[in-house]
Amino acid sequence: MNALPMLPFADPGAGYRALKEEIDAALLRAAGSGWYILGEEGAAFEREFAQWLGEGQHAVGCANGTDALMLILRGMGIGEGSTVVTVSHTAVATVAAIEMAGATPLLLDIDPDTYGMDPDELRAVLEDPPPGLPPIRAVIPVHIYGQPVDLMPIKAACDAAGVALIEDCAQAHGARLEGRAVGTIGDAAAFSLYPTKNLGALGDGGVLSTADEALARRIGAIRQYGWVQRYVSDLVGVNSRLDEVQAAVLRVKLGHLDAQNARRRAIAAAYDAALAGSGLAPPVRRPGAEHVFHLYVLRHPERDALMARLKAQGIGTGIHYPVPVHRQPAYAGRVALGPAACAETAKAAGEVFSLPMYPELSEEQVARVCLALRGL
């Protein structure tokens, strides 16, 4: 019998408990303010998040990460009659956002080592778009698992083709590429603030960023009925706001994010060391890319057996993602694929699995995972 309790794959409650005093004070402050939507907390969070990202950035809070992507597309005027290129190896949210904006998704394959968009395939579809699709207007690469995608060739291809580059940073708050924060390299970036993300609210939340102040202002209007002034809808809008209570909590958590990302990297290094001599290779790091380990992902053809062995030792695992978007019932046979037909994506979906990874893991818990890994 295993006497130890199951170590969960994710534990958002631990994220709250670790900062309980500060978060409780923020919750009470927001509750007591008497102003709950688009007030001082939200404005301060947007300012602080933009500053944390880098000079010249503007941030707009919204209801969730999916809406952040949708709002960027709408703000850029990309909708019906446009194709938006992304990957199939992502949260369904990325593709859902494209269709919410009214645009047509085109899904590309991934690099099998780092799971990000393949820049060569992107170049191919930009030069020779698949027939029957509306013109390509934007590309959304995903910094999947917390590692920056191979963004520089992707940016060069977008610039050459005159299409917008939107970074999906939902898993990569604080990741850096050649010293620059992800989310500051493309034309705009979307961040999810879902509770398990590297920066997570106590509920739903999202934020987007851009260096284009006019775009930020337009999106700020679109997120609230298209209002530029109260009760005057100059634009066709939606309702997608970040509330004051979440913003107050997020301000606290933002102050700890860099340290928490460093802790994630330290846990990753411990897992790497434990895997030495096992049949499993640690996650591949791209040169010049600073990974923030939203997820620590391994791959093996016998994934299910390995996950069962870890479970028998009280270690929870996850799969991100078991079914690629193009094979989901709502998308299969309907969504357009690039020339590689997402072959590597389908293969990865059958082999990847994720270990427990959150900054609140104790040394003892990390040691438990490492012990189990050594025995694999």
Ligand X SMILES: *Cc1c(COP(=O)(O)O)cnc(C)c1O
CB of 231 to ligand X, least distance (A): 29
> Can you name the residues that pair with 165 across neighbouring β-strands?
139
Residues in contact with ligand X, shown as a per-residue x/- string from 65 to 94 under the rule CB under 6 A: xx-----------------------xx-xx
Cα–Cα nearest to 111, from 302, 283, 272, 264:
283
Residues 143, 290 contacting (CB under 8 angstroms): no
Residue 104 binds to ligand X (criterion: CB under 6 A): no
Q: Which one, 169 or 216, has the nearer CB to ligand X?
A: 169
Residues 26, 252 contacting (CB under 8 angstroms): yes
Q: Which one, 196 or 313, has the nearer CB to ligand X?
A: 196
Q: Which of 170, 177, 215, 310 binds ligand X (CB under 6 A)?
A: 170
Q: Is the peptide bond before 36 cis (omega within 30 degrees of 0)?
A: no
Residue 270: count other Cβ atoms within 10 Å of its Cβ: 17
Residue 168 binds to ligand X (criterion: CB under 6 A): yes
Residues 6+ positions from 26 with CB-CB distance below 8 Å: 248, 249, 251, 252
Q: Which one, 134 or 203, has the nearer CB to ligand X?
A: 203
CB of 72 to ligand X, least distance (A): 12
CB of 287 to ligand X, least distance (A): 23
CA 352, chain centre distance (Å): 17
Q: Which of 57, 64, 209, 210 binds ligand X (CB under 6 A)?
A: 64
Q: Which one, 87 or 248, has the nearer CB to ligand X?
A: 87
Q: Which one, 42 or 129, has the nearer CB to ligand X?
A: 42
Residues 115-144 that bind ligand X (CB under 6 A): 142
Residues 179-218 that bind ligand X (CB under 6 A): 192, 194, 206
Instruction: Please count the residues of this chain forming the interface with ligand X, following the rule CB under 6 A.
Output: 14
Q: Which of 57, 83, 171, 260 binds ligand X (CB under 6 A)?
A: 171
The span of 44-52, 58-66, 108-116, 174-182 binding ligand X (CB under 6 A) equals 58-66
Cα 192 to Cα 30, 46, 89, 151, 333, distances in angstroms:
21, 14, 17, 20, 28
Residue 250 binds to ligand X (criterion: CB under 6 A): no
Residues 200, 194 contacting (CB under 8 angstroms): yes
CB of 94 to ligand X, least distance (A): 5
Residue 57 binds to ligand X (criterion: CB under 6 A): no
Q: Which residues bind ligand X (CB under 6 A)?
A: 64-66, 90-91, 93-94, 142, 168, 170-171, 192, 194, 206
